[in-house]
Chains A and B, each alone.
Chain A
Amino acid sequence: MFKINISSIIFSLKNLKKTLFSNLFNTIISLLIILFISKACFNTFEWLIFKADWKVVTTNLPLYAFGSFPPNEQWRPATWIISLLLLSILTLCGPEWKWLRKNLLKVWVGTIPIGLYLLYGGIGLSPIMSRHLGGLTLTILLTICSSFLSLPFGIVLALCRQSSLPFVEKLSSIYIDVMRSIPLIAVLFFGQLLIPLFLPVGIEIDRVWRAIFAFSLFVSAYIAEDIRGGLQSIPNTQIEAANSLGLNQYQIIQFILIPQAIRIALPALTNQSIGLFQNTSLMAILGLVELLGIGRSILANPEFIGQYIEVYVWLASVYWMVCTIMAVLARNLEQKMTINQANF
């Protein structure tokens, strides 16, 4: 894609000379800035390679990945994460076989029940409690389950907001506006502390699922607005065409409106899911040991005390990596979906 052209490099070097070193004043400023940048780079690399003590990362790798999952069962989350990674690679650079491309979305959805089975156990696998989930596994679980739950809820909210029934329309408008005016952390607190109070005696939802529900309630309000934007940009002639074919209201929503609205809203939905992934780190404050939480608990260990920078640099790079994978996957999906409607 990027062909390196020797002559253009020489040209840009000449250009550089013209712009950065045209007179004495510019030359001094340029030199100072170059000196500063190279010093900063040198210090960073010196720290990364020589000064930093990466033992806090390397000895705790299983903790970052799986939290306090029982060691002899850690193959289960490992299988899940690796299969997600392989599936990403397959989606991005796999062969263009028709049957594969057709079923890829189903396989992606299928990773959710498989992941839940692997993590929680059940038939054939020893059951694991939610409190043993942690690290990257828990972060991914929170992200995937919350986005999966909030998408249909968001679509329903968006449709309700467009409803001709004033009661339904008002109700969903109020819900969306309220959710958008409350900070996420407050919703999460509500999920952790208040939901147990409201539930009838005997019914208990564990903390991980309370978090997932709280995230879903919050994110679906934003997703609803993204989908509503998509719905509004579908020309009315589409509905007329569907009407003239005798499709009823529900069939129009199912076959014409929602597929098109999701395609239009896809870039915004990507944003939501990447934001959601990063926001799961708020759960560290509320006592879940997801990726950030496990970092904090490792720092509390006297053996690794004070090694904040190593741990946070490492965590940042893990978050960065996962977010990049998500962004690339989403871009791939966008290209696949818009290729069919170039002049839409």
Chain B
Amino acid sequence: MEPIVIAKNLTKSYTKGLRALDNVSLTVNQGKVLVVMGPSGSGKSTLIRTFNGLETFDRGELSILGIKVNSTPDERKIQKIRRRVGMVFQQFNLFPHLSILENITLAPVHVQKRRQIEAEEYGMFLLSQMGIDSHAKKYPSQLSGGEQQRVAIARALALKPELLLFDEPTSALDPERINEVLDAMRRLAEQGMTMVVVTHEIGFAKDVSDQVLFMDSGKVIETSPPSIFFSNARHERSRKFLNQLDNH
């Protein structure tokens, strides 16, 4: 099995000595789903944002899809990675001035230089997979949060990525809308997509993930399969966090 993400001792500190990442090491193999959990400010988002170059790190080694990234970012390498890695954000971050279909075809046409018609056909295919092909001509603001997030997933898929990053994809949604997005992510996992998901959705993590990585103040506290993590977490800190999520 081919490793897609290999991180070794990633460390990033902000001024004032605050550590966002503290010796983080992990491996994600092809076709696997890694769920990253942890209290807010624990460095989860920072971690997955280093995977496509949105954040830099100070020390450590990182290899994404076999491309090595240093602490001094090489713009060409990062562009190469971004073409093969999709990302879905908490706040959707759709382009408000473009229609749904234009949001999806923008990168295939201008980054991968595919033909407009071909990109539109594939975009419509992705939208129908997400169950929102009837909205193709609308604009982001005319859609509900759940629909916008599914568009964002389709936009990330349009580049046919080999790795998908999700940064709290359901945290900005109404409770009733969360499942439609999680279902779409479940289907992707079933199709064998490699994914790294920052989320607090325990149900999703239990059903879909292969590994759960728990972080606190920049450190990896534990990495366990979900069956162990949710029933019998090894670390006291993880159990405390899970208790609090349950009481919520």
Contacts and interface: CB of A to CB of B under 8 A. Distances in A.
B141 A344 contact: yes
A340 B95 contact: no
Q: How large is the interface on A (under 10, 10 to 19, 20 to 34, 35 or more residues)?
A: 20 to 34
B97 A259 contact: yes
Given A340-B139, A341-B139, A341-B141, A247 B95 contact: no
B83 interface: yes
19 contacts: A238-B93, A243-B53, A245-B82, A245-B106, A245-B107, A245-B111, A245-B155, A245-B156, A246-B79, A246-B82, A246-B83, A259-B97, A260-B97, A340-B139, A340-B141, A341-B96, A341-B139, A342-B141, A342-B142
B111 A247 contact: yes
A125 B238 CA distance: 84
Interface of B: 52-54, 79, 82-83, 85-87, 89, 91, 93-97, 99, 106-107, 110-111, 139-142, 155-156, 159
Contact of B96 (A247, A248, A340): A340
B82 A243 contact: yes
Interface in A233-266: 237-238, 240-248, 251, 255-256, 259-260, 263
Contact of A344 (B52, B82, B87, B96): B96
A327 to B, nearest CB: 23
Given A246-B82, A248-B79, A340-B96, A240 B89 contact: yes
A344 B148 CA distance: 13
A246 B107 contact: yes
Contact of A245 (B140, B141, B159): B159
Given A237-B91, A240-B89, A256-B95, A343 B111 contact: no
A341 B106 CA distance: 18
B107 A247 contact: yes
A255 B91 contact: no
A82 B52 CA distance: 55
Nearest to A244: B87
Contacts of A237: 89, 91, 93
Contacts of A256: 95
A240 to B, nearest CB: 6
Given A244-B54, A246-B159, A340-B139, A263 B97 contact: yes
Contacts of B156: 244-245
Contacts of B141: 340-344
Given A246-B79, A246-B83, A246-B107, A241 B89 contact: yes
B86 to A, nearest CB: 7
Contact of A247 (B85, B87, B93, B106): B106
Contacts of A241: 87, 89, 93-95
Contacts of A263: 97
A255 B110 contact: yes
B14 to A, nearest CB: 17
Nearest to B158: A245
Contacts of B155: 245
Contacts of A244: 52, 54, 82, 85-87, 89, 156
A344 B97 CA distance: 9
Contacts of B53: 243
Interface string A207-246: 0000000000000000000000000000001101111111
Contacts of B106: 245, 247, 255
Interface string A61-79: 0000000000000000000
Interface string A327-344: 000000000000011111
Contacts of B99: 340
A243 B94 CA distance: 12
B111 A246 contact: yes
Given A246-B83, A341-B97, A344-B141, 10 more contacts: A237-B91, A238-B93, A241-B87, A241-B93, A243-B54, A244-B156, A246-B107, A247-B106, A340-B142, A341-B139
